[in-house]
């Protein structure tokens, strides 16, 4: 896919959801100018950014890249608030994109990373409970 078609699609999706560039840039954790470059084709978004954009628009990355989402210009699209899943994805990606965590967890599987991320959000008593449950599960195997 050429970057001009992706740039065009990003702009169409943003406008269809009634988002401004500042909002999308903030969601992605970049400055507005960087996001503007994605829409003009001057820069290509990273794969992490594509995942965040797909989450924001509630479509798959595949749909975003293959341009299989058709927008009808005659239909008004109400701008939904970002879903919990897109907020979770944003938190997850931020956690593992931190330099320290990227190095620390680079050899972990996706499942192990997901477990560690959600585990890190728990309080101490919940962490202890999860550990006890895990020990019990291992003994039953």
The 3-state DSSP class for residue 77 equals coil
CA angle 24, 27, 33 (to 5 degrees): 50
Percent of the chain having pLDDT more than 70?
Answer: 81
Instruction: Report the C-alpha gap between 76 and 103 in whole angstroms.
Output: 45
Compute the 3-state secondary structure of the chain and give helix, strand, coil in percent, each to the nearest 5.
65, 0, 35
- Domains of the chain and CATH, by start: 1-80 (1.10.260.40), 98-141 (no CATH)
pTM above 0.75, yes or no: no
Higher pLDDT pick, 76 / 45: 45
Q: What is the mean pLDDT of residues 8-23?
A: 89
| Residue 108 confidence (pLDDT) | 78
The per-residue pLDDT for 4 is 80
Tell me: pLDDT of 67 over 90: no
């Amino acid at each position: 896919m050429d970057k001009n078609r992706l740039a065009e699609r990003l702009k169409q999706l943003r406008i269809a959801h009634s988002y401004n560039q500042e909002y999308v840039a903030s969601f992605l954790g970049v400055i507005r100018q960087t996001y503007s470059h994605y829409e003009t084709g001057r820069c290509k978004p990273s794969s992490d950014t594509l995942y965040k954009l797909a989450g924001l628009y509630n479509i798959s990355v595949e749909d975003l890249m293959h341009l299989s989402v058709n927008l009808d210009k005659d239909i008004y699209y109400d701008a939904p608030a970002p879903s919990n899943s897109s907020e979770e994805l944003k938190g997850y990606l931020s956690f593992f994109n931190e330099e320290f965590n990227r190095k620390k967890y680079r050899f972990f599987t996706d499942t192990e990373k997901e477990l560690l991320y959600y585990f890190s959000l728990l309080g101490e008593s919940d962490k202890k409970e999860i550990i006890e449950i895990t020990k019990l599960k291992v003994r039953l195997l």
